Structure 1
Amino acid sequence: MSLPPPALRALQGLGAVWTAPNTLIGVLGGLAGMLAGARPYWSRRDCALVFREYPWGPGGAITLGNVILHTGASLEIPCRTYAHQAGHCTEPVIGLHDHERAHVYQYLVLGPFYLPVYLLCGGVSARNPFERAADLYALHGHGWWPLKKR
């Protein structure tokens, strides 16, 4: 079932309010990163404020509400799925922007509960159903929710 665009925007707006505490953490992190060279831009497609060239972290990106902190110059880069990197399977490369957009959608649903639930599910790992769902969304363009039957 597909929602009409006005209804979808209304739900995204409610989700953005619901996840505002997470977004605030992301904005504060992004502002701190700007002092060391991070550059912000709004990504309408990803429903997120993206801070590119984020100066800290092991590389890649992290999503906090409607904010994505990314160490590279662009989210438009290919990357491997968590399962592929862990040696569980062989999958084609995915777009980092698609993977992170799935996390934005997950935050819109769980709001302030996202981070605790995410950590209880295994954190940053191939075992985490939130990461696996984000990878599958990036592979297929649907199925960003981790509890959905595949």
Structure 2
Amino acid sequence: MVILLILLAFLAFFALWAIGVYNGLITSRNGYKNAFAQIDVQLQRRFDLIPNLVETVKGYMKHERETLDAVISARSAAQSGLAAAKANPGDPDAMAQLAAAQGQLNAGLGRLLAVAEAYPDLKANQNMMQLTEELTSTENKVAFARQAFN
């Protein structure tokens, strides 16, 4: 009888331990999904700013069509990468695709902003200054969200 009680106590302890481990795993999964959702929100905000930036720049940079097209195509690729990563945030391949697309977008935006430096009227444009500030702020928020995800 004592052995049976000890066995039942052991089984109850093991069951409670297994439930605790399972709950911990679920909490971790929900945590990384929530962290990725924060990245998603900030990247989406960034994607929404880019067309406004391109439209603002387009009037000043008539001879830089190639740079503008590169930014637009990089934005489309980054949105596709985000959609793939959003479908399965735990997939390393989807995350690698997203990282590569974001790298291309960063390079395109960097070129665009570097070329924009050559246009003093554009740099003084209030809309351009506001969009650049919002883009910088969004980049900081993306970095913070990535830190929480990792």
Larger RCO, structure (CA 8 Å, separation 6 or more): 2
Structure 1 or 2: more strand by fraction: 1
**Bigger Rg, structure 1 or 2:** 2
TM-score (norm 2): 0.24
TM-score, length of structure 1 as denominator length: 0.24
Q: Larger % of helix: which?
A: 2
